[in-house]
């Protein structure tokens, strides 16, 4: 069964703000969460809602989804919780109201940060795709201390200030009663642990920056500004959590002959006065090789011919665009005396009625414009 559109799942439009998306998710999460809902298929519905929210609430993932949909590069490969990854209903309450539910474990696995990398493609590479390896600096778990931050042979100790909770409760008496404020423990920075003997390699951070060679497959038909998601190639997760994703932002160099709009390619081809007048068969370059194009007699500057299927492949695999060839008739310069003589003879034979007879409507409009009609 095909997936439903994420905007449809949350009941919002494509122009919805992050506040609208959060509000819609909060409502549906309360309705379908397995801890509180008795509705049939509540588990599947909540999973669908959660997946839609995790994509649309992240600006990078949302842009990727808007460009490629469910079938785009890397879509659906990680980044979403498993079928049983619901969390308690109090977790959702905490997410939106900041407290009141159970405390989160400061040492629980957390997903790593996403990374962004810009790649510049030649015009043809964007059309036909490209496979390449890039060097990406990213944070990874320290091999010396296995991410603990402690010197080998030692271990981090439980923070004595927060007793490992990573948070400290501060009580305050107010006219409305006693209020408890929960704040991040500044002694352990919310980790719940303190490293006394720090690892020499990472300085107690538990993470080091390394440069990795990552293979990237750029699909055929990508355009300027689109993103390709490489799952699991972002920064390493924390406390054994999954790695983030790498988003490759596409930049495309301009071409000296072709221009592109979506899947369609545009170019301009010059013709001599004789070719345009008498007609001809010319060779036109395309990204797929040269093709023959018949020019009918009397072709005017600005006339456009369509070469079907000679454009860019669609990034979603939905066929190819077309190439549009615009004709530009070149006025001859530096004529020889003989050429001038022939043109004068042609003009005398044609007479002055030629232009007005063939383009009467244009000349009438031009006359009216001068008269202010």
How far apart, in Å, are the Cα atoms of 170 and each of 95, 162, 165, 178, 373? 21, 11, 14, 10, 82
Contacts of residue 118, defined as CB under 8 A and 6 or more positions apart, other chains included, come to 248, 249, 251
> What per-residue confidence (pLDDT) applies to 176?
60
* 129 and 240 together in one domain: yes
Give the pLDDT confidence of 1-58 residue by residue, as tens digits.
567 889 889 999 888 898 889 888 888 887 887 666 777 788 888 888 888 898 888 8
Separation between Cα atoms, residue 324 and residue 327, nearest integer Å? 10
* 266 and 308 together in one domain: yes
Residue 164 domain flag: no
* 314 and 358 together in one domain: no
Q: Is 145 labelled as part of a ligand binding site?
A: yes
* 235 and 133 together in one domain: yes
- What is residue 128's three-state secondary structure? helix
Residue 229 domain flag: yes
* 294 and 205 together in one domain: no
Residue 149 domain flag: yes
Going by C-alpha positions, the residue among 351, 263, 250 that lies closest to residue 314 is 263
CB burial of residue 40 (10 Å; 0-12, 13-18, 19+):
exposed
How far apart, in Å, are the Cα atoms of 333 and each of 102, 297, 300, 337, 340? 84, 22, 19, 12, 10
CATH of the domain at 283: 2.60.260.20
* 230 and 322 together in one domain: no
* 151 and 201 together in one domain: yes
How many domains in the chain? 4
Q: Contact, 206 vs 148, CB < 8 A?
A: yes
Residue 93 domain flag: no
* 359 and 315 together in one domain: no
Q: Is 162 labelled as part of a ligand binding site?
A: yes
Q: What is the pTM of this model?
A: 0.59
Triad 173, 191, 157: Cα angle to 5°: 105
* 322 and 212 together in one domain: no
Look at strands 264-271 and 280-284 and give their pairing. unpaired
* 141 and 119 together in one domain: yes
Q: Is 267 labelled as part of a ligand binding site?
A: no
Separation between Cα atoms, residue 33 and residue 11, nearest integer Å? 17
Flag residues of the chain having pLDDT under 70: 1-2, 34-36, 71-107, 174-177, 351-373
Q: Contact, 183 vs 196, CB < 8 A?
A: no
Separation between Cα atoms, residue 81 and residue 48, nearest integer Å? 10
* 273 and 311 together in one domain: yes
Residue 125 domain flag: yes
Q: Which residues constitute the domain of residue 20?
A: 6-74
Residue 364 domain flag: yes
> What per-residue confidence (pLDDT) applies to 88?
46
> What per-residue confidence (pLDDT) applies to 364?
62
Going by C-alpha positions, the residue among 95, 61, 62, 104 that lies closest to residue 247 is 61
Residue 293 domain flag: yes
* 142 and 214 together in one domain: yes
Residue 86 domain flag: no
CATH of the domain at 60: 1.10.287.110
């Amino acid at each position: 069964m095909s997936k439903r559109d994420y905007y449809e799942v949350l009941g919002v439009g494509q122009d919805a703000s992050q506040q609208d998306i959060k509000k819609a998710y909060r409502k549906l999460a309360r309705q379908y969460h397995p801890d509180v809902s008795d509705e049939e298929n509540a588990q599947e519905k909540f999973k669908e809602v959660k997946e839609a929210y995790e994509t649309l609430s992240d600006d990078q993932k949302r842009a990727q989804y808007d460009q490629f949909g469910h079938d785009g590069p890397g879509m659906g490969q990680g980044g979403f919780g498993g079928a049983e990854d619901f969390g308690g209903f109090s977790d959702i309450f905490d997410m939106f109201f900041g407290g009141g539910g159970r405390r989160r474990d400061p040492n629980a696995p957390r997903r790593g940060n996403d990374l962004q990398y810009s790649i510049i493609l030649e015009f043809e590479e964007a059309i036909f795709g490209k496979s390449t390896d890039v060097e990406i600096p990213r944070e990874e778990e320290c091999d010396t201390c296995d991410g603990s931050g402690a010197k080998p042979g030692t271990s981090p100790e439980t923070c004595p200030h927060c007793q490992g909770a990573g948070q400290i409760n501060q009580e305050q008496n107010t006219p409305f009663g006693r209020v408890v404020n929960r704040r991040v423990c500044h002694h352990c920075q919310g980790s719940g642990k303190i490293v006394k003997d720090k690892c020499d390699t990472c300085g107690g951070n538990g993470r080091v920056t390394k440069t990795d060679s990552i293979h990237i497959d750029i699909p055929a038909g990508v355009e300027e500004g689109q993103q390709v998601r490489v799952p699991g190639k972002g920064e390493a997760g924390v406390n054994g959590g999954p790695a983030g994703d790498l988003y490759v932002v596409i930049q495309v160099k301009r071409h000296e002959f072709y221009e592109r709009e979506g899947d369609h390619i545009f170019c301009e081809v010059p013709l001599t006065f004789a070719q345009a007048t008498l007609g001809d068969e010319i060779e036109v370059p395309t990204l797929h090789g040269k093709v023959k194009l018949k020019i009918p007699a009397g072709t005017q500057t600005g006339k456009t011919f369509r070469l079907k299927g000679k454009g860019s492949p669609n990034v979603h695999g939905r066929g190819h665009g077309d190439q549009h060839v615009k004709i530009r008739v070149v006025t001859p310069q530096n004529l020889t005396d003989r050429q001038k003589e022939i043109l004068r003879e042609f003009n005398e034979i044609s007479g002055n009625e030629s232009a007005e007879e063939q383009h009467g409507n244009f000349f009438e409009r031009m006359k009216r414009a001068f008269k202010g009609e």
